[in-house]
Structure 1
Amino acid sequence: MVGGDVRKLRNLVRLTMILIGASACLAASSAQAAKGVLHLKVVDSETKAPLSARMHLVNPRGNRQRIPGVPNLDDHFSFTGELHLELAPGRYTFEMETGPEYRTRSGYFELKSGDEDNTTLEMTRFVDMAADGWWSGDLFVQRGEIDIETLMLAEDLHVAVNHAWDNKQNAYEGKPVGDPLAIFGGDRAWWRLGGRDERAGGRMIFANVDAPLAVQSAKPEYPSTLSFVNELKSNARVHRAADATAWDLPLWIAQDAVDSVVIAGPELESKGGAAKPAPGSRPADRLLYRGAQGRARWAQQIYFHLLNCGIRIPPSAASGSGATSNPPGYNRVYVHLDGEFSYDAWWRELAAGRVMVTNGPMIRPFVENRLPGDVFTASAGESLEIEVALNLGTRDKIAYLEVLKNGQVEHEVRLDDLVKNQGRLPKIHFDESGWFLVRAVAEVPETYRFALTGPYYVQIGDQPRISKTSAQFFYDWVFERAAAIQLEAGDQRNEILEMHRESRDFWRDIFERANAP
């Protein structure tokens, strides 16, 4: 009897296993059948040419939908040309973008079990910056190399610096580097070996270096970022971009170690400001500069102080994609080139100040057939009256459009007046040296969305305009920074303090030469 019971039990186990296996197969088959498929194409509405795009897709449960096989980041993914979506049944909402020069598309679709549909989305371009000689770039992207070209196409980005190293890691450690420059599509290029040093003195971005810098072993205060700058002196191709709010900005400026100032950095995010400021950044007055908009205005104010000291240096931009949730090129700098696109020419003209920084509005300035970075001159005792005009394209409603002179609003222009005057703004008058630029700010409460042309300079007579207030601003900054240095007494502390003493002397000299309030 016992043996018979055992045989019955074994047969029962086999039957149970067969039923479980059959149930699993049926469940898998049912799950597969439950899905629907959408074949999605994205094209230009006018040319019908295929486009790459970034998509924000929300599933029926209200959650972001990740898609395998394409670059995903935070609440979005990017793809080239055509995408096959295999999804559970339900209603999906989406937002589609293909760079800031195209209108955003949004909508929804529904999939039923077993559906297989084909959809083509047309994207409408409202401005073509490259056609007018303006080429976009981003100085800080940190994404997988295999994805960079897809991401650049999806954001209509022409130049990118991919960061392979920083203070925590070096992605190329022990690996061959090869050619750091990758060019594709005829007018797009990216650098594999970008990186940054971001410590107690703030963030400095290094573009176009031939090998990663050994910043991983650096302590918060020692060695100075300037020691790494000095390693690169023989490489004329290198571009050094400093955060406007970096504590060591006055030191770096005094040592001629900065090629551009980042006024739209990774902390300026598409969905609002980052919870924390940039590493090593000088904090703003919380009453005067509140929230994400306040931090962005603080960076601009610091930059304006530099210009008011007679220092001619261009602004730049960095999205920090990968280190933040920003897509590549969310914060971007457009550089004007005469003739065809060239990677080296792009950097040369950036350094010359032929720029427009934006994370939204598109400004193409026309100032008496001159570009940002140009200098208007007159003899001592003469005056200048300069006619300013521009083309402005935008996806967001513009809150205000301004002409700034020496850091102050000279003219605020209503958009209907801009249209009525065919893009011409009121003339700007100069009796003495100075500078001016144009700024547009969009009405987007959760973040600061703006465009800013590079400055135009005015030189009347032999003397540049130097503001005593702005020189004092940086002179005081040097003392505040030196007092906060956290190094024990010894050679290292003495070395760092000596650099700041030299910086103090630099700004004191500028203060003593000041010729304006």
Structure 2
Amino acid sequence: MNINTHWRWYAAACGTLALAMLRAADVVQFTVRTTDDAGQPLPARVLVRDEQGQAWLPPVATTVNIGPDTWFAGAGHARLDVPAGRYLVVVERGPEYQPARASVVLTGNTTREFRLQRWIDLAARGYRSGENHLHVTGSMLPAMMAAEALDFSTSLQWWNGPQWDAAYAAAAGAYTRFDAEIENSWGAVYCLGLTRPLPVAWNPARPNLAFVRAARADGALICYQGGWSAEVLLDALLGYVDVVNVADNLFQRHKFMPRSRYSNLLGTADLPVYPDTADGMLALTTESYYRLLNCGLRLAAGAGSATGVKSNPVGHNRAYVQVPPGAGIREFLAAWREGRNFITNGPMVFLSVNGAAPGATVDLPAGGGKLAVHVEAPSADPLREVRIVVNGQVVAAGGNGSLDTTIDVREGSWVCAMAVAEEPVPEADLARYAQTSRLGGERPARLRFAHTSPVYVTVAGQAVRVARSVAEAQRILDALAAFVQQTAAPEFQAETAEAIAAARTRLAQGGPFTAEWAPAAPSANSATIPAAMKPMPTEMLDR
């Protein structure tokens, strides 16, 4: 049973059982209306929780699990049959709207309207939102997207093999339907925009390179879970990575996953180990991303929430991408590949470098020059800090919602902006989100952040190349080569060794990193289409 379907059935069953134990006179009808500023119905995510901590749902609902609570994705109007009593009602709709929260005492049939205030309109600024990591079926995803005001997304219907759901063929929405996640000890990578099932049989002893090469041949956007993934450097040096997630599933609504062990998965010498705190995990994701950028790689910042396997709403971690009016999902993915975006799970952040936005290149003459950097960071939550980052170093910081500085640049560089905020959640509420597990569990957190993709700066045509990071990358490739010998199946060893040798050459020469590498001769690691994975009928392709 799909995990989303399981939770929907379980939550509904609990509520039905509780109602069955009450007399009819004890049951009241509670109608929840969610509206916009003009009083028009507005989809939103809704929590109705009694004083014993039980969540209540409409008879038919698309449910969303966040920590211990079960919310539902409402379309603007929902009726619940509940026992008389006091309830906490919380209504949320993505990061552009202020949450609504109320304590409601129900003694009889009641209708309550929750009018959501939109504090910022990103569409009016030319942005559309999306994310790259969702394990949600086609039957549930449209309602979840509408409730979170998420414009585009993915349904990862291939996760180490096909995962087609029954409603898959008939599903419709602004998401791509043949997307794939390859997840193993080589790292998790998401392939978005595929027009047919991924034509490579999953094998945990097979490096990711075969999968991303096949996905790129189909025009996919290739997104790695994090800069700390074991194989991300190799695939990026060979021209097969577009996006690296900075806001990944380590960061969830009201909580984070303490995963210090991800600091150095290959056991590379002299890499830092990050503490198991929310800020430690933020440093892990950002600094491992910076290490890649410092090698001269052009990689957009990414975001994914892992809804369906993590108790997180869709679009909690999302990318806002600048696209022309009327752009569809294909244009959205293309603009994301170009890095015309920022990612967030709370505040917003806008960057300008000599008038250029993220994804653009500022060309300086020999000897370099000065860069005028402007950052705006509007936030619904209290801001802790706004940062300007150049080649992995914070060069300016402040606590207000804007930041201006002038940078003297003498060699190739990149510039990003970042905003860090703290959500003012009451301590008693926050404590509910602690969870233990053998893998490290989840811990409560108020941390929220946003991060831009880079503005690139060349000096006399030369891109960034930070010697410290290049040396680290060389050691990572050495560690990866040893990992391949220990982990890859014999039939994949030779081609992977050839790939690592090519990556070493590109790293030493400073590129080119955009040209896609191919092996000298086809081997067992090359893409083939097993009989069980023939392409779906043409009419099902979401082009």
TM-score range, shorter chain: 0.7 to 0.9
| 1:109-120 pair list within 5 angstroms | 109-112=104-107, 115-120=108-113
- Partner residue of 1:218? 202
Is the CA contact 1:251–1:478 (under 8 Å) kept in the aligned structure 2? yes
- Partner residue of 1:241? 223
Instruction: Find out whether 1:72 has 2:63 as its counterpart.
Output: yes
Is the CA contact 1:353–1:454 (under 8 Å) kept in the aligned structure 2? yes
In our comparison, the structure showing a higher alpha carbon Rg is 1
Counterpart amino acid of residue 251 in structure 2? L
Instruction: Find out whether 1:204 has 2:196 as its counterpart.
Output: no
TM-superposed CA distance for 1:65, in Å, is 3.3
TM-superposed CA distance for 1:168, in Å, is 5.7
What do residues 337-369 of structure 1 show as CA deviations (whole Å, max 9, x unaligned)?
233332222112111111011011012334454
TM-superposed CA distance for 1:241, in Å, is 0.5
Change beyond 3 A, Cα 1:147–1:177: closer
- Partner residue of 1:150? 143
- Partner residue of 1:99? 94
Change beyond 3 A, Cα 1:481–1:427: same
Counterpart amino acid of residue 184 in structure 2? R
Bigger RCO of structures 1 and 2 (CA < 8 A, at least 6 apart): 2
Structure 2: segments with no counterpart, 5+ residues: 1-18, 424-443, 512-543
What do residues 250-283 of structure 1 show as CA deviations (whole Å, max 9, x unaligned)?
1111221111111111222123223668999838
TM-superposed CA distance for 1:211, in Å, is 2.2
Counterpart amino acid of residue 506 in structure 2? F
- Partner residue of 2:289? 303
TM, length-normalised to structure 2? 0.79
CA distance in 1, matches of 2:305, 2:374: 29
Is the CA contact 1:246–1:282 (under 8 Å) kept in the aligned structure 2? yes
- Partner residue of 1:372? 358
Decide which of 333, 338, 358 is 1:347's aligned counterpart.
333
TM-superposed CA distance for 1:502, in Å, is 3.0
TM, length-normalised to structure 1? 0.83
CA distance in 2, matches of 1:357, 1:37: 40
Moved more, 30-39 or 398-407: 30-39
Counterpart amino acid of residue 242 in structure 1? Y
| 1:32-431 pair list within 5 angstroms | 32-45=24-37, 47-74=38-65, 75=69, 76-112=71-107, 115-167=108-160, 169-171=162-164, 182-183=172-173, 189-213=174-198, 218-222=202-206, 224-236=207-219, 238-243=220-225, 244-274=227-257, 282=265, 288-390=274-376, 392-415=377-400, 418=401, 423=402, 425-431=404-410
- Partner residue of 1:10? none
Is the CA contact 1:259–1:314 (under 8 Å) kept in the aligned structure 2? yes
Is the CA contact 2:137–2:168 (under 8 Å) kept in the aligned structure 1? no
> SS of 2:461's equivalent?
coil
- Partner residue of 1:449? 448
Change beyond 3 A, Cα 1:349–1:105: same
CA distance in 2, matches of 1:82, 1:368: 47
TM-superposed CA distance for 1:377, in Å, is 1.4
> SS of 2:131's equivalent?
strand
What do residues 147-173 of structure 1 show as CA deviations (whole Å, max 9, x unaligned)?
21111111010011111120165216x
Change beyond 3 A, Cα 1:369–1:507: closer
- Partner residue of 2:11? none
TM-superposed CA distance for 1:297, in Å, is 1.6
> SS of 1:492's equivalent?
helix
Structure 1: segments with no counterpart, 5+ residues: 1-26, 184-188, 512-517
Change beyond 3 A, Cα 1:280–1:242: farther
Is the CA contact 1:98–1:156 (under 8 Å) kept in the aligned structure 2? yes
> SS of 1:57's equivalent?
strand
CA distance in 1, matches of 2:164, 2:262: 21
Is the CA contact 2:375–2:417 (under 8 Å) kept in the aligned structure 1? no
Moved more, 469-478 or 60-69: 60-69
Is the CA contact 1:471–1:510 (under 8 Å) kept in the aligned structure 2? no
Counterpart amino acid of residue 44 in structure 1? D
Moved more, 334-343 or 157-166: 334-343
> SS of 1:143's equivalent?
coil
CA distance in 2, matches of 1:489, 1:305: 29
CA distance in 1, matches of 2:81, 2:335: 46
Change beyond 3 A, Cα 1:89–1:300: same
TM-superposed CA distance for 1:28, in Å, is 6.6
Is the CA contact 2:185–2:230 (under 8 Å) kept in the aligned structure 1? yes
Is the CA contact 1:142–1:323 (under 8 Å) kept in the aligned structure 2? yes
Is the CA contact 1:36–1:116 (under 8 Å) kept in the aligned structure 2? yes
CA distance in 2, matches of 1:195, 1:488: 21
CA distance in 2, matches of 1:373, 1:507: 22
Is the CA contact 1:361–1:450 (under 8 Å) kept in the aligned structure 2? yes
CA distance in 2, matches of 1:287, 1:363: 28
CA distance in 1, matches of 2:161, 2:262: 13
What do residues 477-496 of structure 1 show as CA deviations (whole Å, max 9, x unaligned)?
11222223334884433343
